[in-house]
Amino acid sequence: MVKDILKEAEDHMRKSVDVLEQELKTLRTGRASPALIERLTVNYYDTPTPLEQLANISVPESQMLMIRPYDPGSLKDIERAIQASDLGLTPNSDGKLIRLQIPRLTEERRHELVKVVHKRVEETHIALRNVRREAQDQMRDFQKEKLISEDELKRGRDDLQKLTDKYVGQADTVGKRKEQEVREV
Protein backbone atom coordinates (compact mmCIF):
# COMPACT_ATOMS: atom_id res chain seq x y z
CA MET A 1 0.00 0.00 0.00
CA VAL A 2 2.76 2.42 0.89
CA LYS A 3 4.55 1.58 -2.36
CA ASP A 4 1.38 2.43 -4.32
CA ILE A 5 1.12 5.78 -2.56
CA LEU A 6 4.79 6.51 -3.24
CA LYS A 7 4.47 5.49 -6.89
CA GLU A 8 1.45 7.77 -7.35
CA ALA A 9 3.21 10.64 -5.55
CA GLU A 10 6.31 10.22 -7.73
CA ASP A 11 4.15 10.29 -10.85
CA HIS A 12 2.51 13.57 -9.74
CA MET A 13 5.89 15.07 -8.84
CA ARG A 14 7.38 14.11 -12.21
CA LYS A 15 4.43 15.75 -13.96
CA SER A 16 4.89 18.92 -11.90
CA VAL A 17 8.53 19.21 -13.00
CA ASP A 18 7.52 18.49 -16.64
CA VAL A 19 4.94 21.29 -16.48
CA LEU A 20 7.63 23.64 -15.14
CA GLU A 21 9.91 22.76 -18.08
CA GLN A 22 7.11 23.41 -20.57
CA GLU A 23 6.23 26.75 -18.96
CA LEU A 24 9.83 27.89 -18.92
CA LYS A 25 10.22 27.06 -22.62
CA THR A 26 7.65 29.75 -23.37
CA LEU A 27 9.70 32.45 -21.64
CA ARG A 28 11.43 34.67 -24.12
CA THR A 29 15.19 34.77 -24.06
CA GLY A 30 17.44 36.66 -26.46
CA ARG A 31 17.30 33.81 -29.00
CA ALA A 32 14.48 32.74 -31.28
CA SER A 33 12.86 29.45 -30.37
CA PRO A 34 9.67 27.90 -31.80
CA ALA A 35 8.70 26.86 -28.24
CA LEU A 36 8.18 30.55 -27.55
CA ILE A 37 5.01 30.69 -29.64
CA GLU A 38 3.93 27.16 -30.56
CA ARG A 39 1.47 26.92 -27.65
CA LEU A 40 0.05 30.38 -28.32
CA THR A 41 -3.75 30.09 -28.60
CA VAL A 42 -5.26 31.40 -31.82
CA ASN A 43 -8.98 32.01 -32.22
CA TYR A 44 -9.46 30.01 -35.44
CA TYR A 45 -13.08 29.89 -36.62
CA ASP A 46 -14.19 30.68 -33.04
CA THR A 47 -12.20 27.71 -31.71
CA PRO A 48 -9.13 28.25 -29.51
CA THR A 49 -6.37 26.37 -31.32
CA PRO A 50 -2.62 26.12 -30.54
CA LEU A 51 -0.49 27.88 -33.16
CA GLU A 52 1.56 24.71 -33.76
CA GLN A 53 -1.58 23.08 -35.24
CA LEU A 54 -2.19 25.97 -37.63
CA ALA A 55 1.25 26.75 -39.00
CA ASN A 56 4.81 25.65 -39.60
CA ILE A 57 7.18 27.54 -37.31
CA SER A 58 10.83 27.83 -38.30
CA VAL A 59 13.95 29.73 -37.22
CA PRO A 60 15.70 31.12 -40.33
CA GLU A 61 18.01 33.32 -38.23
CA SER A 62 19.00 33.40 -34.56
CA GLN A 63 16.83 36.48 -33.92
CA MET A 64 13.84 35.63 -36.16
CA LEU A 65 10.89 33.26 -36.22
CA MET A 66 8.99 32.54 -39.41
CA ILE A 67 5.38 31.34 -39.32
CA ARG A 68 3.91 29.79 -42.45
CA PRO A 69 0.16 29.08 -41.94
CA TYR A 70 -1.24 25.90 -43.50
CA ASP A 71 -4.40 27.88 -44.30
CA PRO A 72 -3.63 31.38 -45.65
CA GLY A 73 -7.02 32.51 -44.32
CA SER A 74 -5.75 32.08 -40.76
CA LEU A 75 -2.97 34.66 -41.21
CA LYS A 76 -4.95 37.55 -39.67
CA ASP A 77 -6.09 35.40 -36.72
CA ILE A 78 -2.48 34.40 -36.02
CA GLU A 79 -1.34 38.04 -36.19
CA ARG A 80 -4.09 39.08 -33.75
CA ALA A 81 -3.12 36.31 -31.31
CA ILE A 82 0.55 37.36 -31.38
CA GLN A 83 -0.33 41.02 -30.80
CA ALA A 84 -2.72 40.13 -27.95
CA SER A 85 -0.11 37.92 -26.24
CA ASP A 86 2.25 39.21 -23.55
CA LEU A 87 5.31 38.40 -25.66
CA GLY A 88 5.82 41.99 -26.75
CA LEU A 89 6.48 40.97 -30.37
CA THR A 90 5.15 42.70 -33.48
CA PRO A 91 4.26 40.41 -36.39
CA ASN A 92 5.47 41.41 -39.85
CA SER A 93 3.30 39.82 -42.56
CA ASP A 94 3.69 39.73 -46.34
CA GLY A 95 0.34 38.01 -46.98
CA LYS A 96 1.79 34.48 -47.06
CA LEU A 97 3.93 34.24 -43.95
CA ILE A 98 4.65 36.09 -40.74
CA ARG A 99 8.09 37.09 -39.57
CA LEU A 100 8.73 37.80 -35.90
CA GLN A 101 11.89 39.70 -35.10
CA ILE A 102 13.08 38.75 -31.60
CA PRO A 103 14.73 41.84 -30.11
CA ARG A 104 17.67 41.56 -27.76
CA LEU A 105 16.64 41.71 -24.13
CA THR A 106 17.48 44.75 -22.04
CA GLU A 107 19.15 44.23 -18.68
CA GLU A 108 15.97 45.36 -16.93
CA ARG A 109 13.87 42.83 -18.85
CA ARG A 110 16.37 40.08 -18.02
CA HIS A 111 15.94 40.81 -14.31
CA GLU A 112 12.14 40.67 -14.71
CA LEU A 113 12.38 37.32 -16.50
CA VAL A 114 14.67 35.92 -13.80
CA LYS A 115 12.01 36.88 -11.24
CA VAL A 116 9.38 35.09 -13.33
CA VAL A 117 11.61 31.98 -13.47
CA HIS A 118 12.02 32.06 -9.68
CA LYS A 119 8.26 32.47 -9.24
CA ARG A 120 7.50 29.48 -11.48
CA VAL A 121 10.09 27.35 -9.68
CA GLU A 122 8.58 28.32 -6.32
CA GLU A 123 5.09 27.41 -7.62
CA THR A 124 6.49 23.99 -8.55
CA HIS A 125 7.99 23.62 -5.06
CA ILE A 126 4.54 24.34 -3.61
CA ALA A 127 2.95 21.77 -5.91
CA LEU A 128 5.56 19.19 -4.86
CA ARG A 129 4.93 19.90 -1.18
CA ASN A 130 1.17 19.56 -1.75
CA VAL A 131 1.71 16.13 -3.33
CA ARG A 132 3.88 15.16 -0.35
CA ARG A 133 1.22 16.34 2.11
CA GLU A 134 -1.54 14.41 0.33
CA ALA A 135 0.57 11.24 0.30
CA GLN A 136 1.36 11.66 4.00
CA ASP A 137 -2.35 12.11 4.75
CA GLN A 138 -3.14 8.91 2.85
CA MET A 139 -0.47 7.00 4.78
CA ARG A 140 -1.74 8.40 8.09
CA ASP A 141 -5.29 7.34 7.20
CA PHE A 142 -4.09 3.83 6.35
CA GLN A 143 -2.24 3.67 9.66
CA LYS A 144 -5.37 4.80 11.56
CA GLU A 145 -7.38 2.09 9.82
CA LYS A 146 -4.68 -0.40 10.87
CA LEU A 147 -3.88 -1.23 7.22
CA ILE A 148 -0.19 -0.37 7.75
CA SER A 149 1.98 -0.44 10.87
CA GLU A 150 3.64 2.55 12.50
CA ASP A 151 7.03 1.34 11.21
CA GLU A 152 5.71 1.21 7.64
CA LEU A 153 4.32 4.73 8.11
CA LYS A 154 7.71 6.02 9.27
CA ARG A 155 9.59 4.28 6.43
CA GLY A 156 6.99 5.57 3.95
CA ARG A 157 7.40 9.14 5.22
CA ASP A 158 11.19 8.88 4.95
CA ASP A 159 10.97 7.54 1.39
CA LEU A 160 8.43 10.24 0.52
CA GLN A 161 10.78 12.95 1.82
CA LYS A 162 13.65 11.54 -0.27
CA LEU A 163 11.37 11.57 -3.30
CA THR A 164 10.31 15.16 -2.59
CA ASP A 165 13.93 16.28 -2.18
CA LYS A 166 14.84 14.62 -5.49
CA TYR A 167 12.11 16.43 -7.45
CA VAL A 168 12.70 19.77 -5.68
CA GLY A 169 16.33 19.41 -6.81
CA GLN A 170 15.22 18.71 -10.38
CA ALA A 171 12.96 21.78 -10.35
CA ASP A 172 15.86 23.90 -9.05
CA THR A 173 18.13 22.55 -11.78
CA VAL A 174 15.58 23.35 -14.49
CA GLY A 175 15.15 26.85 -13.04
CA LYS A 176 18.91 27.51 -12.85
CA ARG A 177 19.37 26.36 -16.44
CA LYS A 178 16.64 28.74 -17.64
CA GLU A 179 18.03 31.56 -15.50
CA GLN A 180 21.46 31.15 -17.13
CA GLU A 181 19.80 31.17 -20.55
CA VAL A 182 17.97 34.41 -19.71
CA ARG A 183 21.08 36.10 -18.33
CA GLU A 184 23.15 35.11 -21.37
CA VAL A 185 23.81 38.11 -23.61
pLDDT at residue 28, as a whole number: 67
**Do 78 and 135 reside in the same domain of the chain?**
no
**Do 58 and 20 reside in the same domain of the chain?**
no
Q: State whether residue 76 is helix, strand or coil.
A: helix
Domain C-terminal end among 101, 127, 144:
101
Give the residues across from 181 on adjacent strands.
none
Rounded distance, CA 178 to CA 181, Å? 5
Mean pLDDT within 149-161? 92
pLDDT at residue 185, as a whole number: 63
**Do 156 and 89 reside in the same domain of the chain?**
no
- pLDDT tens sequence across 70-119: 998 889 999 988 888 877 788 898 888 999 888 777 888 888 888 989 99
Residue 71 sits in a domain whose CATH number is: 3.30.1360.40
Rounded distance, CA 84 to CA 48, Å? 14
**Do 18 and 39 reside in the same domain of the chain?**
no
**Do 114 and 162 reside in the same domain of the chain?**
yes
Mean pLDDT within 15-20? 94
**Do 51 and 95 reside in the same domain of the chain?**
yes
- Percent of the chain past pLDDT 70, that is, above it, reads 98
What 8-state DSSP symbol labels residue 54? T
